[in-house]
Amino acid sequence: MTHHFRVISFGYGHAPAPTADLVLDLRALLRNPHHNPQMRHRTGLEPDVYQHVMATPGAERLARGITAAAIALAEDTGGHVTIAWGCTGGRHRSVGLARRTHELLHTTGAAVDLEHRDIDHDLLPAGVHARPRPDAYTTPAGG
């Protein structure tokens, strides 16, 4: 049975996450090419920006892990699986991970659609390029 996957990149700074089975928030996980003046106005579709994102420690392992999880989910449910990768602006990190996931899924012979929802949007202001860290992630004193 051939499974069908949809991979989406998006930016939290433009709109809420799309509806998906697996939603990954990269804002605090990967270095942001937006902070590099040579990459800021470019996208993860360009080879050097893509390589910069994928050279971030953990990026390849994350792409492979999510790909394996999506394949297992498709096998267990027999259904269509959507993966959404989000970063702040939807131009760099999410595009890179979506591209890599698309490549990995494509090598399995699965049908894979790739969409970059926010890649053509204007850059967001500098103050929004970090994910707020909820207090729930802190350990209480004595705990």
Question: Cα angle at 79 between 89 and 81, to 5 degrees?
Answer: 10
Reported as a single tens digit per residue, the pLDDT across 74-131 is 999 988 999 999 998 899 899 999 999 999 999 999 999 999 999 988 877 766 555 5
pLDDT of the residue at 126: 66
pLDDT of the residue at 57: 94
Q: Would you state the structure tokens that stand for residue 107, as one six-digit string?
A: 């090598």
Mean pLDDT of the chain: 87
* Ranges of each domain in the chain: 4-123
- Look at residues 2, 53, 55, 65 and name the one whose alpha carbon lies nearest to residue 26: 53
Cα–Cα distance between 8 and 64 in angstroms, integer? 16
Question: Cα angle at 77 between 73 and 83, to 5 degrees?
Answer: 40
Reported as a single tens digit per residue, the pLDDT across 4-51 is 999 999 999 899 999 999 999 998 888 887 778 788 878 889 999 999
Reported as a single tens digit per residue, the pLDDT across 34-43 is 778 788 878 8
The pLDDT-based confidence of 133 (bands split at 50, 70, 90) is: low
The answer to whether 70 and 5 have CB atoms below 8 angstroms apart is yes
Give the type of residue at 119.
I
The pLDDT-based confidence of 137 (bands split at 50, 70, 90) is: very low
φ, ψ dihedrals at 70, nearest 5° = -65, -40
User: Which residues, other chains included, contact 6 with Cβ-Cβ below 8 Å and sequence gap of 6+?
Assistant: 20, 80, 81, 82, 83, 112, 113, 114, 115
Question: Beta partners for 25?
Answer: 86
Q: How far is CA 115 from CA 67, 77, 91, 93, in A?
A: 16, 23, 12, 14
pLDDT of the residue at 36: 81
pLDDT of the residue at 128: 59
What radius of gyration do the chain's Cα atoms show?
16
- Percent of the chain exceeding pLDDT 70 equals 87
